[in-house]
A and B are shown apart, each in its own frame.
Chain A
Amino acid sequence: MNVWQLVKVHRGAALVLALLSLSASLLLAALPRGYERAYDDAVHGMLGDVSVQVTDLGVTGRPIAPQALLTRPADFENRYEEIAKGLPAQLRRVVVPLGQGTSHFAAKTTGTPLSDRVDGPRRNNQYVDFSWLPGAASRVKWVKGRPPGASSALPRLPGRPDLKDLTVIEIGLVAEVVDEMGLDVGATLLLGNSYPVVAEVTGLYELTDAADPYWEHNGEVTRVVERPIPHSTDNEWLTSGLISDDGLAKLDQRREVSYWWIFGVDRARVAAATAPAMIAEVNDYQRFLGELSGGALGSPLDLHYELLTGLNRVLGDFLVVLRTAETLLYLLLGGLAVVSLGVLALAVQLLTERMRSGLSLVRARGASLAQVVRAGVGVVALAVLPAALAGYGLSYLVPGPSTPLAHVVPVVLTVATLLFATGRLAVAHRRPLKDSRSDLVSARPSPRRIALESLVVLLGVGGAYLMRTRGVASEAQELGVDPFLVLAPAGLALAAGILTLRLYPLPLKLFTRLAGRRPGAVPFLGLTLAARSRGGAALPVLILLPALAVSVFGALVSGAIGDTQSRAAWRDVGAQARIERAAEIPEDVVARVEALPGVTSVLRAGKGNVQVGIGGMRATVLSIDLKDYRELVDGSPLTVPDPPRGLGVPALVSTTLVPYKEIEVGWHTRMTIRNMGRLDELPGLSFPGENLIVMPFDGPKRAGLRTYTNILLVDGDVDRATLERTVGLADAEIETYASALADVQDTPLTGAVTVAFTVATLAMGVYALIAVIVALVIGAADRAKALSFLRTLGLSQQQARTLTVLEVAPLIVLTAVAGLALGLVLPLVIGPGLDLSSFAGLAVTDFPLTFTTPALLAAALTAVSILGAFAHATAGRRVTTALRVGESS
């Protein structure tokens, strides 16, 4: 049989199949790519948020033997070769070569005190270290003096007869030492208490580019660090000077010297998919360095190497977030795959039904089963294969790295489609002319089938129950997605599908009985037709149900994430906008803010951190009018308690302070507040866990002073930039709800999840519509026969249309209800296993059972499907003519 000719004859159905195959393979190949890109963006974002010092691989070597001193640049290069050899594959891939990016080597001393100054008086508590940074030469410009040069010897030091034959090392210092440490060009420093060395400052430099990540590794040479000395009121100052190659040769074991080899990591080359491997490799590399230090690898036993990096920790944190995102996306992808497979199966059914009569004739005329199946599958393959290939090819237009999933899913889908076609054709044409006796009663499902279906339902429900009780057993740190999390919903969907299929005639029988009592024949006939469970109904149900369930679930998850994001932003800010300052906010600023367009009200509040007169506790004290505040945040998720009332200074206090009736605090003045009730936190204004005292805004005034304002809570529509401009105080902290919300929303993974839900919901809606229409087209011939028979009995064209819609509508409506229910149940099942906090900024504690969006989704899908049925009934061929004598019905 000529397969091509068959395709040409059934080009309509073949085209439908081809288009579906193209879209399915495009979607299912493109989505993983998109996801992977979002994952990569997310990992780059997370790596970008931290210093290169954390993400680069730093290897330190400390000499453990005198001969281990590295005195020439060539020594460092040799060692670099040696330690780079052990870099595992993935790490090697992301590391940039020596001299590029942040890859470099260095020698540094630490903790070298400035013990004396040869040229004049010294200041106390100063430390000046040596840094040999061959890469620094091109990154600094000398603003005074000259770069350090060769070292020299000093036979004796004037005024210090105890010191002889000292080494003089020339150093260059960062320019700010002049102000910070009183050092300048020409200063001669005696460094180190025992075995001191002389350092002569030959020049001062500034950084050509302070933002160069190179300096993040070598911060000590870029600035003077001033820090308090522990257990003392004094400060100490630390800096480090650059020395020349010749200076390096003079750094001996008497200095606390360590050698550094930094392997710069190119963050753009880090792929989310390789993160688990990279974490393992960091550990491997650490082990390698340990072996190298121990001489196990034949290396000289002179340096103790150690790996210093936070790469594994950052990637580990990322994986926790990724796992949740992956779970959600796999869930969507799985749902989409099932739905598209269902639609493809329907289209195959359409095509094979169209070919049926021809193939039956051919089979009866002496074609073997193999010949018939070969021809039929050939047609399906001709429609599916090029289309799937084209879809797969088109998916390369979607930016993003290709993942195994992107290759595997289209192949699986195509193979499954062809297998379904094979099975269907084989069953349909196993016996030639099987339809020769269509007058017999259709068989009831066999006991074996009922048992199988019961088993599936039991497994689905049992799995969901287990999921609910067990939660997710695997630790968040564990790499990869919990397969159970993905399988349980699929099982549940299948169970729901089977239950719907088996049970939907039951409510219909009731309606049929009701319709039977009413005068119109069409509703009764339509419902009766609908209640006749036919095999053709299975596929649309199995498509519609998961489509709606996943969409509803997606809407709920998106809703929960959105709600929690909003709550997190509210908790963060405490109002639409908050202006906070340590000092008082001047009246004119308040007036300017109040006058801003869009600002509807401004609430003043005071805040301070005070010592409570009980056991040296500290507490945050707030003066705010809770009644006004409640009005200000009305309609937000924040709840504000009733204001404290009473004489004196009434206040609400946190749990630890509750036992005390009166509390003495020193805020602006010494005042006694009266405990009027409990309040543990006021989001946005206090941190949870700290002691809190909330008094009326005029609390200080009641205590005999005046009111103080250092917080403004603003209601209204105003953006952060405008507020910053208006306030004009550099030390004021300005936070708006919108910016806080944007912070939690604008992460690549959140975006990916939201987009994925939208795409999947749309795609599934379209598929559901196609499924209904294709199912109708498949049954069109049978329906036409039934209708033409009814037409002879006097059914009008309009009634015939209504009948068609009524015939499919109950199944669609009932399936939509089942899908809606499943979608609403899914969060209960999966919720405990999903950690959405990384998307929401807060732990997502509950999924608010909002019916609006899901119900709208269900209604829309139902309406679209029924409209599809109506369109088919209206635009379909006019087959609904009356029977003529001699025609068989």
Chain B
Amino acid sequence: MTTLSDLEAQATRRAPAFGEHAHILCDNLVRIYKTEGVEVVALQGLDLLIEKGELIAVVGASGSGKSTLLNVLSGLDVPTAGLARVAGMDLLSMTAKDRLRYRRSVVGFIWQQTARNLLPYLTARENVLLPMKLAGKKVTPGRADGLLDLLGVADCAPRRPGQMSGGEQQRVAIAVALANSPEVILADEPTGELDSDTSEEVFGALRRANRELGVTAVIVTHDPLVSEQVDRTVGIRDGRTSSETLRRTSEDGDVIAEEYAVLDRVGRLQLPRDFMNALEMERRVRLELERDHIGVWPAGAGEENGE
């Protein structure tokens, strides 16, 4: 006989949800900016799963919603609808206090503009110590120096941002983002303003932080240098994840990149625009389930098939 407590337990027990064990989870994420009756739908049902310790790149055209996604993940912006969870914290239901704690200890981030990452009147060391002070943690200059050393800018510790090169500034910014040992670091085009050599250094620093500290890293980028060196690249189009590129190293040492379209939980799929253009697919397509794949035909072609 089922008792009341059994029913309660049953009610509270959930079936394993979508991406329950993912470190970063976005499910059907929507963010709408609204002023004066004009709505800008920056995210329209975006899905994303990132495992702990992963290093991924997010790519997409200007206005595709990359920066909005990053702002949502960094706790600076609140999504309109959907589900967003980072390190087990639900970003939609956080109170202001939770949000502050989240920013202090769960995420760290790096902006594109080198100058915007650091306070110009503090030295590199002071900049790294600042988040610790803000979080009310015990200030350990040793840790700051350690971080700067890890990122290869130990010699910049007593210098102010104005006395450093762009690459050095970005690497110090990574150290600042890592100051409070976050679980996730988010970077918005960290190499956007840098030349390729310096970009290499900065990306190297990010990868080192990812590998040595085990921190999950999400990098929004346009830079092929970055996007082609990570294990996974997520493409965003019109506010949704549209494609994923996985890279693995083959037995003979070559890097093999395979591009996938993203299938969401309810089965929606974005076809690459050039595929659609090539076959003049419009409005509706015809699908056919085969044994090991699904065939997609332009509406007209299917009708011809039927004749």
Contacts and interface: CB of A to CB of B under 8 A. Distances in A.
Contacts of A367: 134
B305 interface: no
A443 B121 contact: no
B51 interface: no
B33 A361 contact: no
Interface in A347-380: 357-358, 361-362, 364-369, 371
Contact of B35 (A8, A371, A441): A441
A134 to B, nearest CB: 81
A210 B150 CA distance: 101
A437 interface: yes
Interface string A428-445: 000111001100111110
Given A371-B134, A437-B33, A357 B116 contact: yes
B121 A362 contact: no
B77 A441 contact: no
A362 B134 contact: yes
A532 to B, nearest CB: 15
B130 A362 contact: yes
Nearest to B121: A9
A5 B103 contact: no
B40 interface: yes
Interface string B73-108: 010110000000000000000001000100111000
A371 B104 CA distance: 13
A8 B119 CA distance: 14
Given A9-B121, A441-B36, A365 B131 contact: yes
B76 A443 contact: no
Contacts of A432: 76, 103
Given A361-B116, A432-B103, A436-B71, A443 B135 contact: no
Contacts of B67: 436
A365 B76 contact: no
Nearest to B77: A436
Contacts of B210: none
Could you say which of A361, A365, A368, A442 has the most chain B C-beta atoms within 10 Å of its C-beta? A365
B76 A433 contact: yes
B40 to A, nearest CB: 7
Interface in B94-152: 96, 100, 103-105, 109, 116-122, 130-131, 133-135
B38 interface: yes
A364 B103 contact: yes
B121 A366 contact: no
Chain A CB within 10 Å — which of B71, B119, B130 has the most? B119
Interface string B15-52: 00000000000000000010110101000000000000
A660 B67 CA distance: 102
B176 interface: yes
B7 to A, nearest CB: 42
Contacts, number: 62
B100 A433 contact: no
Given A440-B35, A440-B40, A441-B38, A366 B119 contact: no
A441 B116 CA distance: 24
A633 to B, nearest CB: 69
Given A357-B116, A432-B76, A365 B35 contact: no
**Interface range, B side:** 20 to 34
B130 A365 contact: yes
Interface string A1-16: 1000100110000000
Interface in A411-451: 431-433, 436-437, 440-444
B71 A433 contact: yes
B242 interface: no
Contacts of B131: 365-366
Contacts of A440: 33, 35, 38, 40
B135 A366 contact: yes
A365 B173 CA distance: 11
A835 B133 CA distance: 64
User: Which of A9, A362, A364, A433 has the most C-beta atoms of chain B within 10 angstroms of its own C-beta?
Assistant: A364
Contact of A365 (B33, B103, B121): B103
A366 B76 contact: no
The CB with the most chain B CB atoms within 10 A, among A366, A371, A443, is that of A366
Nearest to A357: B116
A436 B76 contact: yes
B180 interface: yes
A362 B119 contact: yes
Interface in A739-782: none
Contact of B134 (A366, A431, A433, A443): A366
Contacts of B100: 366, 368
A57 to B, nearest CB: 69
A364 B116 CA distance: 11
Contacts of B118: 361
Nearest to A430: B96
A441 to B, nearest CB: 5
Contacts of A358: 119-121
Contacts of B116: 357, 361
Interface string B287-307: 000000000000000000000
Contacts of B77: 433, 436
A440 B33 CA distance: 8
A366 B104 contact: yes
Nearest to A443: B35
Interface in A608-642: none
A607 B107 CA distance: 103
A427 B51 CA distance: 37
A367 B133 CA distance: 9
Interface in A468-508: none
Nearest to A370: B100
A363 to B, nearest CB: 9
A655 to B, nearest CB: 73
Interface in A632-675: none
Contact of A443 (B36, B96, B109, B122): B36
Contacts of A365: 103, 130-131, 134, 176
Nearest to A9: B121
Nearest to B40: A440
Which of B33, B103, B120 neighbours the largest number of chain A CB atoms within 10 Å of its CB?
B103
Interface string B151-184: 0000000000000000000000000100010000
Contacts of A441: 35-36, 38
B125 to A, nearest CB: 14
A364 B186 CA distance: 13
Contacts of B109: 364
A9 B126 CA distance: 15
Contacts of A362: 119, 130, 134
Nearest to B38: A441
A431 B75 CA distance: 10
Interface in A446-470: none
Contacts of A431: 76
Nearest to A367: B134
Contacts of A369: 96
A441 B33 CA distance: 11
A431 B130 CA distance: 20
A828 B53 CA distance: 77
Given A432-B76, A436-B71, A436-B77, A366 B103 contact: yes
A488 B96 CA distance: 44
A367 B135 CA distance: 7
A436 B77 CA distance: 9
A71 B180 CA distance: 98
- Nearest 3 A/B pairs, CB to CB: A366-B104, A367-B134, A9-B121
15 contacts: A5-B121, A5-B122, A357-B116, A358-B121, A361-B118, A364-B76, A364-B103, A365-B103, A366-B100, A366-B103, A368-B134, A369-B96, A371-B134, A440-B40, A442-B35
Interface of A: 1, 5, 8-9, 357-358, 361-362, 364-369, 371, 431-433, 436-437, 440-444
Given A366-B134, A436-B77, A444-B36, 11 more contacts: A1-B134, A5-B122, A362-B119, A366-B180, A371-B134, A431-B76, A436-B71, A440-B35, A440-B40, A441-B36, A442-B35
